[in-house]
Structures are given as C-alpha cells and as structure tokens.
Structure 1
Amino acid sequence: MTTNPLDDAPLSPFHKKLALFSSGGPFLDGYVLSIIGVAMAQLTGQWHLDATEQGLIGASTLLGILLGAFAGGYLTDLFGRKMLFTIDLVAIIAFSAAQFFVGDVVWLIVLRLLIGVAVGADYPIATSLLAEFAPRKYRGPLLGLYVTMWFVGAAAAYIFGEMLTNLGPDGWRWMLASAALPALLIVLARIGTPESPRWLASRGRIDEANAVLRQVYGEGVSIADLPDEVKENLNVRALLRSGYGGRMLFIAVFWTASIIPLFAVYAFAPAILGALHLDGDMAQWGSALITVMFMVGCVIAVFVVNRMGRRPLMIHSFLWSGVALALLGLFPGAPTAIVMVLFIGYATLIGGTQIMQWVYPNELFPTEIRGSAVGLASSLSRIGAAVGTFLVPVALNSLGIGTTMLIAAGITLFGAAISVFWAPETRGLSLSESASLAGAAAQPAGARKLVRS
C-alpha cells in the first residue's frame, strides 16, 4: 500500500470543519422535505388544495433534487468545487425566503422545484470536496457522518414546524421560509474553503494545487507526492462506458434497493403512532423521534465502517434489516411493543446501506468525473424515492400493511444479494487506488466482472 501526504495525513481541525460545513446539504435536504409536511396541515385548508395540488407541491422538491444533483455534479467537475460550494446555498436562501411571499400554488411549486435543484446540486459538490481532502483512515466515517445530517435536518423540521404552528394562520409561511436561516449560517461558515488540490491538478493548475497543499498540510507537500492523480484523461461519458459504467450500475441498484423500503417504512410509521394512540402534537414529536432512530443507525454504521469494512457492512445491513421488515410483514398484528422493536431494529440496521450511498460513489470514481458520478447516483436515488413515495400508499390501501412490508423486505434482501456479488472492498485504499479500474483485481469475482464490463 502506497503512502502520500493527503491520504495518510492525521485528522486535523481543517478536516473536521470541512466535514461539518459540507454536511449542510443533507441537513437542508431533510429540513425542506420534512417542513413541507408540517406546513401542509395549515396550507391545505387555507388554499383549499386538492389531492393533485398537494402531490405536486410535495413532489416538486424531489424532482428538483433529481435535476440538480446531476447538474451540480457536472458543473463541479467542470468549474471546480470551491465556487459552487457557496453559490448553491445562496440560491437556497433566496428561494426559501421567497416562499414567505408566495400567493398561489403555481409559484409555490416553482419555488419548491428551484430549492430542490439547489439542494440536489450541493450533494456532489460537497461530498467530492470532502472525499478529496479526507485521509483514507477517516474518509469512510466522515462521508458516513455526512448522511446522518439528513435525519438531523428532518427532526429539526418537525420540532421547529410545531413551534411555528403557534404563530397563527401565517405559520406555514414562516415554516417554509425558515430554511433560509440555517442556509445562511452554513454559507457564512463555508467562506474561505480552499479548492480541491486534486481537481486543480486534474486541470493542469499545478501551482494553485501546490499552494492549497502548503496551506492545508504545510511546507514541503506538493502535488509531486500524488503523481497518480494527474494520469487519467476522462470525461462524463466515461460514466456510461468501460468499467465505470459497471460501477455506476452497481451503485444505482444498491441505492435504489435501500431507498425504496426506507420510504415504505416512513409510510408505516403513522400506523405505529396510531397504535400507540399518538395524534395531534404528539404525532409531530413522535415523527421526530422515529427520524432520530434512523440517525442512530447511521451513527453506529459510521463507527464500524472501518472496523468491518465496506463490503461486510453493506451485506449485513441489507440482510438483517430485511429480516426485520419480513417479520413486520409476517406478523403485522403483533403487540405494539414487538412492532416497535422490529421497527427500531430496521431503522438501526439499515444505517449501513445509508452511509455507503455516499462512501462508494466518492471512492469508486476518479477526480475528473467524481462529481458527475455522485450527482448521477443521487439523481437516480430520487427516482427510487419517488417510486417509493408513490407506490407505498397504493400498496397499503390495496394490499395491506403485511404484504407491503413483505415487498419491502424482498427489495431489501435483493440488495443483500447484489452486494454479495458486486460490492467491492475499498477499506484502506487511497482515493486514487479505490477509483482505479486496476483495483478490481482485489474485488470479489462478481465485482471484478461488473467493473470491467
């Protein structure tokens, strides 16, 4: 295993601050997607919204994220990480604040769509920057902690949404505009973040790359210590050709297998709360508590990702969370305590697949196309999220909770199967080693075949 100053650097205050500021994207994603659910309770009655209008308002942000993630990835590969790291959050501030003054459904849908585009764009921008600075020993945990902030944002939305409800009939306006405040704090914190030296080197801007390396790592460190970072000559079309197309297929399949059941469980949560006789204000607090369960699972996965390795964590996370869903499906009439234990078990165990949604895309693609790869993977995941959001209510009404949970279990266990055949092990590799197609030699037989296809 080769060593270099970036991949083998100690975890510094710079890395910790970058990880914290980068996680603003998923925080805002969780916040804006959850706050609309609280706001709709007031907005629906005031504007007399029908089911179609409610659906369009809710789905517009997801559609925006789908569009923004790939666009942001392409642009960050083209223009760099630093500039877009700030611009996308400025857009979120402007569009969120504008929601306070919105007067009709069409403009609200447009603004929610634009917010989604900006939030989606931040994913490939921020994770690419974080992955390219993070030492190999800490890369998995730092990228894993990144995703936990989605659940923090969602829980915050439920809490602040409930507080802002007390402001009267215009409470929903304050709820939707409130996302501008954390976005402003995040953008101020991001000011001064340096450009990725790996991206600068890939563009031939060696002097600038060396200046950043000296700023972050000290004198004596230069891009000459990372000669393998400038050997590739790739573009976004490489995502769909050669070995990188196979890697993208693996990521798209496992991410979809993880996200669809996750949304199914979110749909199942109200039924659990009803069984516990939680309604009104308590339902909001209960939803926040359930969201925290998913966050706890991600945090646990962060602490074991290096100890277990990427591949075993993926397989076990899919397998045992699938078992929990299967038991929920087989025994939907079980006592409330048992249902809650199974629900908590799923929320905790699925955390491994959740953090790998950000670890694998950043580790399996080279600098030139890393942002585009992360963006495309994130966009594809939103298709799965939309499918889950649309089909779960239909399945609950036509098939019932038991069958719906069995379907979710089947999808999750399918994720375990494809992980057995395709998931590579990237623990301990430098970023250039894990992204190189030559690294396939150390992967499982199924993964070797996939990444070379």
Structure 2
Amino acid sequence: MIFAKNSVNNFMTTSGASVNNAYILGISFISALGGYLFGFDFAVISGALPFLRVEFSLNAWWEGFLTGSLALGCIVGCLVAGRLSDRYGRRPGLLLAALLFALSSLGMALAGSLTSFVTMRFGAGIGVGMASMLSPMYIAEVSPAAIRGRNVAINQLTIVIGVLVTNVVNYYLSDDGPEAWRWMFGLGVLPAVLFFVGVLWLPESPRWLVKAGRLALAQAVLGKLGNPVFVQETLHNIQRSLPKTTPPSFAAVFERGVRPAVFVGIGLAVFQQFCGINVVFNYTSTIFESVGASLDRQLFETVSIGVVNLLFTLLAMRLVDRLGRRPLMLIGAVGLGVSYIVLALLLQTHAATGWVSATVLVAIAVYATSLAPVTWVLIAEIFPTAIRSTAISVATISLWGAYFVLVFTFPILAQYLGTYGPFWLYAGICLIGFLFVRRNVRETKGKTLEELETIFTGH
C-alpha cells in the first residue's frame, strides 16, 4: 500500500484511500505518554542514587537490585498487559498502567525503609511494563504503513522527553538537602494523571475490535482515521489476517509458523539492553565519579545526556521511514561498539572529565538514532495480528529481563573490574548484535502489518 502526501493532514494511496494524518498523530502522541512514564522512572534513579546510597546504606548488590527492581515489575506488567489487552482491549490496559504508576510514585516518595521503597519501585515497574508494551502496539495498530515507523518512534520521543525533563528537575532538586529524592519520585504523579486523562479520550484499536467481533465499532473508529476506501481496505486486510481461533496462549507464540518472527523479536529486545547503554543512563553518577567529577557535575552530565538523547531521537524519527530499520540497527551496533572501546580506555587511564563526557554523548547519540527507537518499531511490526499482543509481551518480557541483568550486574562488575571493565564486554556484545541483525532482520518500512506476516512467517 503506497501513500503519497496530498495535503497537510492527509495521505492518499494509489487506490484512492486517504487517512487523517493529524488525528492519527494526535492519538499516537496521547498513547505515547506511556513512554513518558517509562522515561521518568528510567531517569529518576540516576539523580536519586547518590541520595539513596546514603539514605539506605546501599552496597553494590543492593544498589544493583534497587535499580533493577523496576525491571522485575516490568516483567509482571508485560504478562498482565498481554492477557488484559487481548481480553478487554488496549485502552483499559493503558488506563490501569497510568493508575499503577501514580500510586507507586507516591509510595516511593513516602517510603520509610529499603523494603518499602523496593516494593513500590517494583509496583512502578508493573505500570511501566504495561505501558512499554501497549503504547507502541496501539500506535502500530492505528497507523498506516507509510507513517507507522515515525508514529511508533513517537513513543521513544516521549521516553527521551521524560528522561530529559526528569534529569533537569533532579538537577535543580539536588540542592534541597538529603530528602530531595522524595520529591524526585513524588513528582511522577503529575505525568501519570495526565496520561490517564488522555487515554480516556482515545478510541479502541480497530484491529482489536475486529478480532473481538465488534465490526461496527471498528468501522466507526476507522472512519475517524481515513476515508471510506481506507476503511474498506483496512477491514479487508485485518479480516484476512485473522484466523478463526481462540485467543493465543504463550505456547502458540512458539509454534513453528511464527517462530522466526518471535526469534527475531526476542533477539532484538535482548540486544537493545545487553548493548549496555542503559548502564550509562542509570549509573551516570558512578561513571563520572570514577574520574573525579563532583556531584554537581555528575548531575549536570545527566542533563547533557538527556538533551543529546532528545535531539538525536528527533533525527531518528525522520530517518526510520526513509533510511529504513535495518540500516539504522547495523549502524547503531557498530557505532556503540567503537564508542565503548574508547570510553573503556578513557576510564581506565582516568582521562579528563571533558573527554569522558564527549564519548558518552557520542554513544548516546548513536543509540538514540538507532537501537532505541528502531527496536520498539520492529517489535510492534513483525508479529502476526492473531498473536501480536502475546508475542509483543514475550519480546518485551525478554527486554526487561535483560535490563534487570544489565543494571543489577554493573555495580558488582565495576567493583571487581573497575568502572571501565564492563564496557569491554558491552563492545563485544555490540559485535554479536551486528551479526544477528545482518543475518536475521528483514526491512519492514513501507509495508502493511499484514504484508509483514508473509515476510517474517513465510505464509
């Protein structure tokens, strides 16, 4: 299905179907506010760790576990979201994610012990895990093929905006004394409430409505997305792709026919984490402390990272539907590997903070342009409609499991190998990731979700 832009707000196919680009963009941004929650909880720990180490007398093991407890909650969130979204729809899952996030943010801010704090961070992870799965899936299901990559990348944009805003707030709160960390976490209530209110306005995914047998409502939603020709084309494609079966089990995701797509999805999810960049995001203070930076400089570096992350995510949104998914993933793997080698050498020789900062920012720029948004785009695209929610759940669980292993092990590895040591390991993983993408990932830009079923499943 080829689209040509014929006005500011519409795209038209060669068959005469046109879509309301402004409306689709608007609901994509609202859904992507779930990414902001992800970005908030992802970044807040970096600014809060210097205070939490003192507040809870953290050793290397507990520092890693406290940081990674978010990921354990995310795994539970993905499991809940998959079943919930298949049974009740994408929208109720997004509402529940916002509610859980608001409550857990308050819980972390008021925590009086390490146990209660970790429990609340685990709860926040459930909300983040649900949103990290449902937001890109919802966007992919309401977006036409020609702009789907850009729209799903909006989720990554809101993640990095969440990271940047949180880092800036943390930087200014850091002078408010030893209790500043409570404000850092408590402010998460504000974006959670905004997300909840926004989701109330969203229509349900038309693909889920068709799968649930609610054809009239699906037609009504599609009528908001495009003209009658678009409605009929999309309905035909969705119905053709849906086998008459019961909702898929996790076992169905690993059946022979869909196994290649699931293998690629899990591989990409694990690589996005094991590539190591989230160590830079979560342990910025540890990295710069190792070269003698003051606390103020450590927190300032988190702001610099957020700015670069945002700028290059905007660049990625322009490239993902132009250059394509596969080239960006290959460039990212090579670029990160080289950056880590340089960073390891600089940290090992205790180089000037400026050189370390420049190298870190290059790594962030490479990641933000490639692995960060493109992994989520591919995971939202490559699975057949009949198993999409369950398969995305499996891939996202794999991603969060890998994230937990990464952030849990870094303080321990750094204690025994030095702060520079783990980056040699991450460079090697980037080489393996490059080979994986080159061999297994097929280009998906410009193709409908139904066309991609043939590419990744062979039927």
Residue 294 in structure 1 maps to residue 314 in structure 2:
no
Residue 58 in structure 1 maps to residue 67 in structure 2:
yes
In the TM superposition, what is the alpha-carbon distance from 1:452 to its structure 2 partner?
A: 5.5
Residue aligning to 2:252? 238
SS in 1 for 2:320: helix
Summarize the Cα distance change of 1:174–1:346 in structure 2 as closer, same or farther, 3 Å threshold: closer
Residue 316 in structure 1 maps to residue 331 in structure 2:
yes
How far apart, CA to CA, are the structure 2 residues paired with 1:220 and 1:408?
49
Residue aligning to 1:208? 217
Residue aligning to 1:416? 434
Count of aligned pairs = 441
How far apart, CA to CA, are the structure 1 residues paired with 2:364 and 2:78?
25
Summarize the Cα distance change of 1:6–1:247 in structure 2 as closer, same or farther, 3 Å threshold: farther
Normalised by the length of structure 2, the TM-score is 0.86
Preserved contact between residue 100 and residue 177 of structure 1 (Cα < 8 Å):
yes
2:125 to 111, 116, 119: 116
Summarize the Cα distance change of 1:200–1:42 in structure 2 as closer, same or farther, 3 Å threshold: same
Residue aligning to 1:254? 268
Residue aligning to 1:87? 96
**CA deviation vs aligned residue, 1:296-341 (integer Å, no higher than 9, x gap):** 3333222111221212221122123222223434565385455444
Residue type of the partner of 1:368?
A
**CA deviation vs aligned residue, 1:397-449 (integer Å, no higher than 9, x gap):** 33345543222111011111011110111111112111x1x225xxxxxxxxx
How far apart, CA to CA, are the structure 1 residues paired with 2:108 and 2:283?
30
Q: Where do residues 259-278 of structure 1 align in structure 2 (5 Å cutoff)? A: 259-260=273-274, 261-266=276-281, 269-270=284-285, 273-274=288-289, 278=293
Point out where structure 1 has 5 or more consecutive residues left out of the alignment: 441-450
Summarize the Cα distance change of 1:207–1:168 in structure 2 as closer, same or farther, 3 Å threshold: same
Residue aligning to 1:174? 183
Residue aligning to 1:445? none
How far apart, CA to CA, are the structure 1 residues paired with 2:176 and 2:342?
43
Bigger mean CA offset, 409-418 vs 8-17: 8-17
Residue type of the partner of 1:128?
M
How far apart, CA to CA, are the structure 1 residues paired with 2:232 and 2:136?
21
1:136 to 129, 145, 148: 145
In the TM superposition, what is the alpha-carbon distance from 1:277 to its structure 2 partner?
A: 5.4
Summarize the Cα distance change of 1:255–1:426 in structure 2 as closer, same or farther, 3 Å threshold: same
Bigger mean CA offset, 364-373 vs 199-208: 364-373
In the TM superposition, what is the alpha-carbon distance from 1:272 to its structure 2 partner?
A: 5.9
Residue 78 in structure 1 maps to residue 87 in structure 2:
yes
How far apart, CA to CA, are the structure 1 residues paired with 2:269 and 2:429?
11
Residue type of the partner of 2:31?
S
Preserved contact between residue 28 and residue 179 of structure 1 (Cα < 8 Å):
yes
Residue aligning to 1:198? 207
Residue aligning to 1:443? none
Summarize the Cα distance change of 1:117–1:138 in structure 2 as closer, same or farther, 3 Å threshold: same
2:360 to 327, 343, 361: 343
1:396 to 389, 414, 428: 414
2:114 to 98, 105, 110: 105
In the TM superposition, what is the alpha-carbon distance from 1:192 to its structure 2 partner?
A: 1.7
Residue type of the partner of 2:118?
I
How far apart, CA to CA, are the structure 2 residues paired with 1:410 and 1:174?
39
Residue aligning to 1:186? 195
Residue aligning to 2:7? none
How far apart, CA to CA, are the structure 2 residues paired with 1:355 and 1:121?
18
Residue type of the partner of 2:260?
G
Preserved contact between residue 94 and residue 130 of structure 2 (Cα < 8 Å):
no
Preserved contact between residue 344 and residue 421 of structure 2 (Cα < 8 Å):
yes
Residue type of the partner of 2:297?
M
SS in 2 for 1:242: coil
Summarize the Cα distance change of 1:119–1:49 in structure 2 as closer, same or farther, 3 Å threshold: same
Identity %: 23
**CA deviation vs aligned residue, 1:40-64 (integer Å, no higher than 9, x gap):** 4444544555665554433322210
How far apart, CA to CA, are the structure 2 residues paired with 1:68 and 1:6?
38
How far apart, CA to CA, are the structure 1 residues paired with 2:84 and 2:149?
25
Preserved contact between residue 257 and residue 415 of structure 1 (Cα < 8 Å):
yes
SS in 1 for 2:185: helix
Preserved contact between residue 86 and residue 187 of structure 1 (Cα < 8 Å):
yes
In the TM superposition, what is the alpha-carbon distance from 1:24 to its structure 2 partner?
A: 1.7
Preserved contact between residue 278 and residue 286 of structure 1 (Cα < 8 Å):
no
Residue type of the partner of 1:211?
A
